[in-house]
Structure 1
Amino acid sequence: MLRTLLIGLGRAGTGLHLPVLHRARATHPELFADQPVLGVDPARPPTATTPGLQVVDHLREARRRLDPDTTVVHLCTPPAVRGALLEEAAHLGYRRFVVEKPIASDRTALDRVRQVADRHGLHLHVVSPWLHSALTDRIAALAGDPADIRAVTVTQAKSRFRRTLTNPSHTDAFQVEIPHALGVLLRLLGDADVHTASCTDLRYKGVVVPHMGGAQVALHHTAGPHSRIRCDLTSPVRSRRITVDTAAGTRLVGHFPVAQDDDTAQLDVWRHGRRTRELLPDDALHRCLTRAYRSFAADRPAADDLRLHTRTVELLDDARRLALASPSRRPQEAAHHAG
């Protein structure tokens, strides 16, 4: 059975990973040790006591309490600092890592992560709830071969004013929601190149946060289909929607769960003008982490998944460079299209 060390005690670490780990421990006692999770945050001390979490001051103290041979490290820090922390933990003997998406912020950071992983023989599992989603599995089964798909559009919308204004952990909108969608598109449609990309600034009462209002990416896939991601981080309405149009005329409209207090996805299947709705239990992060721990317990790295996440970072880097090199960016473009 495996214990857990959380590095990074912000929204991802204590708000997402920790509750799922508690549920997973109850449902899979053969994988998760019945002992408290240890946590450390290099950026800031914790402000409150969290049930089920024991906080230590630094990684060396965690190493004295946790045997690397039976520990999984969750790296929940911002992308820009993950390479350094990954190397520090690897030097302490840890080999199994769950890494928040995206695995790196750009190609330079990705190269560092690869070098550290290769040098220390690390087993990395990237957090990718949408790739482990029951909705994604169902859409893949219905859509079939990429050559049978004409186009896919993903819309991601939510209000992110407070986090953007108070937490500079992300430097552009391409790092927030788009990695979820991009991984799914690569799974459904295969490899791709970035065709167009744009991003907008977040504006609030005279304050401007560059590149954090939203983003768009259009892709051309090697197998033939086109896809588009539209992300609005200023929307008053939350939505995580994927629309798949097949060459046979079927339209699939899927809605991923948008909040922690609900784990039901919905899928509308349109054929010949008639709609059939399916409801799918979809606790995707639970599935993602459980699969990771099974892989760690069996010592079987998921090479295909890591290649997909590596390609995701490369395409995100391409999209960011293209968007930021644009001579003009209309401030309301992403919000207009993501509604």
Structure 2
Amino acid sequence: MLRTLLIGLGRAGTGLHLPVLHRARTTRPELFADRPVVGVDPAHLATASGLHVVDSLRAARRTLDPDRTVVHLCTPPAVRGTLLGEAARLGFWRFVVEKPLATDRAALRRVLDVVDEHGLHVRVVSPWLHSALTGRIAELAGDPAGIRAVTVTQHKSRFRRTLTNSGHTDAFQVEIPHALGVLLRLLGDADVHTATCTDLRYGGDVVPYMGGARLTLSHATGLHSRIDCDLTSPVRRRRITVATAAGTRLVGHYPVTQDDDIAQLDVDQHGRTTRELITDDALLRCLTHAYRAFAEDRPYADELRLHTRTAELLDDARHLALATPTRTRTRHQEAAHHAG
């Protein structure tokens, strides 16, 4: 059975990972040790049931056996490479890393160098990839060649967190990584075709690039997919729409709050629509998958390659979107700009 070390005790660490870990102990007791989760917080500010807080990674190392511990890295992406290396030098080698894996190619290279140098096993938090709804859509959609269009909508109001927390530098880092991984799974590899982002404005406050983001992917199959994320929307929505060559239209709604784990799927075939309700505690499925894989020493390279590609595409999208005053540019325009 494996113990847990949380690095980063903000919303992701104590608001998401910790309660899910508590639930996981009851559903998969053979994987999760019945011992308090250890959290690193230099200021000793975080308190929660079932959490033992220490002030440094070295203090955590005195409490935990690295060979029986999974480290959850829940810090902002910009510092992941540094903390990953520090934990690795103390002997820890199993890691669950919050998405995205990195914010740009340089940071991604630093993370991957640490992984290679220390032989780390890394799983990236990806609830949508482990979602029961995603699995059902993949089953119904069938072969990627039979898919004609995919659109993802990710809307929510995020004013207060954006105004008071600088953990993210652009909207591409917030919701879009969830959708991007799913699109790569459903449709295969892609390049960023177009990308746009907007500022968040509230009164006299302006947070550059954090109002929302939109991008279009051009897949190797020739299909274009689209993601639309509005972080100023008064309506919260996590929706994926898939149209197939056979005339089927799938509209999936991922759960939008932590207190309801029911996903919904509308299946429209030949003018008749049926609705499926799917129990979908996706983060629980994601973390349980990671711990089972760690316990069984399963290969992780394929998963890491997918998340590496996701990070690369997010970097491409950000560069394309921020390249002009209007913050939008297609890949073709970017190439022409550099050629000129």
- Give TM class, smaller chain: over 0.9
Determine if the alignment matches structure 1 residue 162 to structure 2 residue 160: yes
Q: Percent identity?
A: 79
Q: CA deviation at 1:172?
A: 0.1
Q: How far apart, in 2, do the equivalents of 1:190 and 1:41 lie? A: 40
Match of 2:23 in 1: 23
Deviation, 1:49, is 2.3
Contact 1:146/1:225 (<8 A) preserved: no
SS in 1 for 2:183: helix
Residue 300 of structure 1 corresponds to which residue in structure 2?
A: 298
Among 134, 143, 146, the residue aligned to 1:145: 143
Structure 2 distance, partners of 1:68, 1:317, is: 32
CA contact (8 A) 1:147 1:225 kept: no
- Report deviation, 1:247: 1.2
Q: 2:34 corresponds to which residue?
A: 34
Distance 1:190 1:150 in 2: 13
Task: Identify the match of residue 93 of structure 2 among 60, 70, 95.
Answer: 95
Instruction: Please report how far the alpha carbon of residue 224 of structure 1 lies from its aligned counterpart in structure 2 after TM superposition.
Output: 2.4
Aligned-pair CA distance for 1:328: 1.4
Q: 2:214–2:228: 8 Å Cα contact kept in structure 1? A: yes
**Residue aligning to 1:277:** 275
**Structure 1 position 47, deviation (Å):** 3.2
* 1:249 alignment partner, one of 247, 250, 254: 247
Alpha-carbon distance in 1 for matches of 2:247, 2:76: 42
The DSSP-based 3-state class of the residue aligned with 2:55 is coil
- Deviations 1:276-335, CA, capped at 9 Å, x for gaps: 1000000000000001001111112322111110000000000000000023149xxxxx
Q: Indicate how the Cα distance of structure 1 residues 34 and 142 shifts in structure 2: closer, same or farther if over 3 A, else same.
A: same
Query: CA-to-partner distance for each residue in 1:57-109, whole Å, 9 max, x for gaps?
Result: 00000000000000000000000000000000000000000000001111111
Shift of 1:19: 0.3
Query: Equivalent residues in 2 for 1:229-268 (5 A)?
Result: 229-268=227-266
Q: Quick one: which amino acid aligns to residue 303 of structure 2?
A: D
- Aligned equivalent of 1:62: 60
Q: Distance in 2 between matches of 1:277 and 1:258?
A: 18
- Helix, strand or coil for the counterpart of 1:317? helix
CA distance in 2, matches of 1:197, 1:155: 15
1:228 aligns with 2:211: no
Q: Is the 8 A contact 1:149 1:244 kept in 2?
A: yes
Residue 320 in structure 1 maps to residue 318 in structure 2: yes
* Counterpart position of 1:5: 5
Partner of 1:182: 180
Contact preservation (8 Å) 1:147, 1:224: no
Report deviation, 1:225: 1.8
What amino acid is aligned across from residue 256 of structure 1 in structure 2? Answer: Y
Change beyond 3 A, Cα 1:229–1:46:
farther
For 2:12, the aligned partner's letter is A
How far, CA to CA, are the matches of 1:41 and 1:325 in structure 2? Answer: 37
Q: Which residue of 2 aligns with 1:336?
A: none
Q: Which amino acid aligns with 1:9?
A: L
Q: Secondary structure at the match of 2:310?
A: helix
The within-5 A match list for 1:189-208 is 189-208=187-206
Distance, in Å, in 1 between the alignment partners of 2:296 and 2:45 is 37
Aligned-pair distance for 1:46?
Answer: 4.2
> Normalized against structure 2, the TM-score is what?
0.95
> Do the aligned partners of 1:5 and 1:38 also contact (CA within 8 Å) in 2?
yes
C-alpha separation in 2, matches of 1:179 and 1:3: 27
Letter in 1 for 2:50: G
Q: Which amino acid aligns with 1:20?
A: V
Written as runs of structure 1 = structure 2, the 5 A alignment for 1:101-116 is: 101-116=99-114
AA in 2 matched with 1:96:
R
Aligned residues: 328
Letter in 2 for 1:321: H
The amino acid of 1:102's aligned partner reads P
With normalisation by structure 1, the TM-score equals 0.95
Q: In structure 1, what is the Cα distance between the partners aligned to 2:34 and 2:185?
A: 35
- Tell me what 1:333 maps to: none
Runs of 4 or more consecutive aligned structure 1 residues displaced over 2 Å after TM superposition: 45-49
Contact 1:7 1:75 in 2 (8 A): yes
Query: What is the identity, as a one-letter code, of the residue corresponding to 2:188?
Result: G
Q: State the shift of 1:25 in Å.
A: 0.7
SS in 2 for 1:325: coil
Query: 2:39, 2:191 → 1: CA distance?
Result: 39
Match for 1:154: what amino acid?
Answer: V
> Which deviates more, 24-33 or 196-205?
24-33
Of 122, 126, 131, the match for 1:124: 122
CA distances 1:193-226 after superposition (whole Å, capped 9, x unpaired)? 1100000000001100000000000011102221
Q: Which amino acid aligns with 1:15?
A: G
